[in-house]
Amino acid sequence: MKTATAKKALVTNNRHSRKSEIDRPQNLGKPQMKWGSDVVAEVTRQLDLKYIALVPGASYRGFHDSIVNYLGNSNPQMVICLHEEHAVSIADGYGKVTETPMAVALHSNVGLMHATMPIFNAWCDRTPMIIFGATGPVDAYRRRPWIDWIHTSKDQASMIRNYIKWDDQPASPQAAVESVLRANQIARSAPFGPVYVCLDVGLQESPLTDDVSIPDPARFAPAPSPAVPHDSIVKALKAIEKAKFPLILMGRVSRKQADWDRRVRFAEAIGAAVLTSSNDAASFPTTHPLHLAAPCLRPSKAATALIEKADLVISMDWLDLGGVFRLALGTAQTQKPADKTILHCSVDSNRTNGWSMDHQALAAVDIPIHAEPDQFIAQMLDEIDAKKTPKVKTRPEIKNIAHWNAALSGKPSPTRGAAMTLWDMAMTVREFGRNRPVTFARLPLGWPGEASDFNGPLSFMGNDGGGAVGTGPGHTIGTALALKDSGRLTVGVIGDGDYLMGVQALWTAAHFEIPVMIVIADNRSYFNDEMHQERVAQMRSRPAQNRWIGQRIDDPRVDLVAMARAQGFDGEAPVSTTEALMKALKKGAEIVAKGGRYFIDSVIEPGYADTGPDQRAGDVKKK
Ligand SMILES: Cc1ncc(C[n+]2csc(CCOP(=O)(O)OP(=O)(O)O)c2C)c(N)n1
Ligand SMILES: [Mg+2]
């Protein structure tokens, strides 16, 4: 009997549907708001935060109880995780899709310490997030011996203050109402980011003695994004009219379909060439005739040619405008700026601080626009429509450039049957994803831009803004959580190093029955850093053949599939040919469509597809 059950479990590792709802509390009766932590829970409910990712801890046992036994584990519903790093990464993945915060609860000090890296990453990603922490009792007289003293640290936010937008530690339930409302307002104002509210055990566990009223949260909503002054719109239009070769650098923009459609209409109306970044979420159709070079992180040859030709650059919150000119044109950073007219539209400076350099190099800008790009584009289109200028401007010097996709389209996916390269794998995944409602939650390092076939704002969610290895699985699961009822297939393609660092995030997907597919680019190495070691050895005339030492994740080989299966995913033997990969992808799609989770270990040769060590190391070209 035992053997039969075990065998069955192997065949259907996935629970495609559960009879009862997930994690439902019983016998709640009619809960009343009676404790300090109930107040925090009540405000949180009013803010319509659907989920709270967490690892439990006694420092917030009062708040935990309020979510379960006062709120009934609903709005927000707990998303239990196996590591604080995953709790924050899942919230990051969720926030990237919805552009609204997911809540996170972190145990005092130690839980927060575990969470620091993905909080930094969420900061770099500009993802809204409301993090609840805990401490205390701050009143030493109320502390239980030993454990409460360990749980109490002064100014816990100081661990993360340099990479969050705001923090607070309210001292009364009334102050907690204000604190949570303000946290919500700040997290949801562009540029988005994480905020942190630390809940004193004393506050959480005290019975309410006075009335606490919860106001209508609508009256504490964030202000609409700023509009662009009309003068700036006129100036921008004049520059566009004058330009011979306008180039739009489509950077960090919204996930809304209407904004996507307007971006296309805008590029067409002004006849500009378009570039997108392979690090940011999908921002423009990659196969559109104006998207003239494949998406790239650092400018490729084709992208460089466009940047060189452009006399007007229109940056839509491009992440690293100064850096892109430095790489493409060899211009000195700020001293000798690019000799072009530059328009830069961004509100990122609202959030810049002196600790994190993720604001990047300071670019020279002729037409600064302090607004979100999609706001700017909407106003530009209104102006263009009002002026009744020709709806589509054709510029022969742009139109005649061959599209990057032309060399690829029509080619069947490779069928060599030999061990795959990353390129082979990428082209197979591209082929699989075409004409399917796929969301790529993440794509791995070295992934060729030519594998991008993005036709909507949810085609790709962008990579880890903070270069945070280990966030891939969490981001994928957070993305899949946000999209779970959308009919889209969420696929996270991630490196084996990234997977192994973040692997326990998978259990949350299984427990929470989140449909998702994870595909590993398994080169058995921290390969990105092999490239760095090769580069350094070359620079120092030392043997580059030793680049693999301290980098390979082999001997023993890790059984990646077993690690997924152990946590409730389906998955079979590793695949190492494009045919087997395609078969597995199709099978996975079927399983995920039924609500399941599927894992593929795609074994590839170590190596990157289209970029040599110069590119990967990001060394600056000297001209
Ligand atoms: C937390 C963290 N540790 C270390 C690094 C340095 N690092 C950058 S890329 C990389 C390798 C990632 O390996 P994998 O996901 O397998 O991708 P591959 O390099 O093999 O393409 C490492 C270790 C990092 N970025 N983040
Ligand atoms: Mg690897």
Residue 414 predicted with pLDDT over 90: no
Q: Does the beta carbon of 31 lie inside 6 Å of ligand 1?
A: no
Residue 557 predicted with pLDDT over 70: yes
Q: In the structure, what pLDDT confidence band is assigned to residue 611 with cuts at 50, 70 and 90?
A: very low
Cα–Cα distance measured from residue 515 to residue 589, given in angstroms and rounded to the nearest whole number:
10
Q: Identify which ligand lies nearest to the alpha carbon of 445.
A: 1
Could you tell me the two tokens for 347? 């509100």
Residue 215 predicted with pLDDT over 80: yes
Instruction: Please tell me the predicted confidence (pLDDT) of residue 334.
Output: 83
Instruction: Please tell me the predicted confidence (pLDDT) of residue 8.
Output: 42
Could you tell me the two tokens for 546? 């030793």
Instruction: Please tell me the predicted confidence (pLDDT) of residue 11.
Output: 43
Residue whose tokens read 């405008």: 321
Q: In the structure, what pLDDT confidence band is assigned to residue 363 with cuts at 50, 70 and 90?
A: very high
Residue 497 CA, ligand 1 centroid: distance in Å: 6
Q: Does the beta carbon of 497 lie inside 6 Å of ligand 1?
A: yes
Instruction: Please choose from 278, 469, 525 the residue to mutate so as to test ligand 1's pocket, defined by most ligand atoms within 8 A of CB.
Output: 469
Residues ≥6 apart with Cβ < 8 Å to 567? 503, 504, 506, 507, 510
Q: Which residue owns the Cα nearest ligand 1 atom 17? A: 495
Instruction: Please tell me the predicted confidence (pLDDT) of residue 5.
Output: 40
Instruction: Please choose from 85, 529, 534, 551 the residue to mutate so as to test ligand 1's pocket, defined by most ligand atoms within 8 A of CB.
Output: 529
Angle between helices 36-46 and 173-187 (to 10 degrees): 30
Q: Does the beta carbon of 189 lie inside 6 Å of ligand 1?
A: no
For residue 512, the one-letter residue type is F
Determine which of 74-88, 550-564, 609-623 has the lowest per-residue pLDDT on average. 609-623
> E strand or H helix at 327, and its extent?
helix 321-329
Instruction: Please tell me the predicted confidence (pLDDT) of residue 409.
Output: 59
- Find residue 612's DSSP bridge partners: none
Mean pLDDT, residues 589-594: 97
> Pairing mode, if any, of strands 367-369 and 438-442?
unpaired
447: how many CB neighbours lie within 10 A of its CB?
Answer: 28
Are 251 and 374 in contact, with CB atoms under 8 Å apart?
A: no
Residues ≥6 apart with Cβ < 8 Å to 508? 53, 79, 80, 81, 82, 86, 90, 477, 514
Angle between helices 578-593 and 422-433 (to 10 degrees): 40
Residue 481 predicted with pLDDT over 80: yes
Q: Which residue owns the Cα nearest ligand 1 atom 18? A: 527
Are 273 and 247 in contact, with CB atoms under 8 Å apart?
A: yes
**DSSP conformational letter for 51:** E
Radius of gyration in angstroms for the set of CA atoms belonging to the chain, rounded to a whole number: 25
Determine which of 1-15, 151-165, 172-186, 364-378 has the lowest per-residue pLDDT on average. 1-15
Cα–Cα distance measured from residue 160 to residue 164, given in angstroms and rounded to the nearest whole number:
6
Residues ≥6 apart with Cβ < 8 Å to 60? 37, 105, 107, 108, 132, 133, 134, 199, 201, 204
Residue 196 predicted with pLDDT over 70: yes
Residue 392 predicted with pLDDT over 90: no
Q: Which residue owns the Cα nearest ligand 1 atom 22? A: 526
Mean pLDDT, residues 130-138: 96
Residue 102 predicted with pLDDT over 70: yes
Cα–Cα distance measured from residue 235 to residue 312, given in angstroms and rounded to the nearest whole number:
13
Mean pLDDT, residues 363-384: 97
* DSSP-based three-state secondary structure for 434: coil
Cα–Cα nearest to 593, from 519, 491, 456? 491
Instruction: Please tell me the predicted confidence (pLDDT) of residue 161.
Output: 98
Q: Which residue owns the Cα nearest ligand 1 atom 16? A: 497
Instruction: Please tell me the predicted confidence (pLDDT) of residue 48.
Output: 86
Sheet holding 570-571, edge to edge: 438-442, 489-495, 516-522, 597-603, 570-571
Q: Is the peptide bond before 137 cis (omega within 30 degrees of 0)?
A: yes
Average pLDDT in the chain: 92
Q: Does the beta carbon of 444 lie inside 6 Å of ligand 1?
A: yes
Residue 618 predicted with pLDDT over 60: no
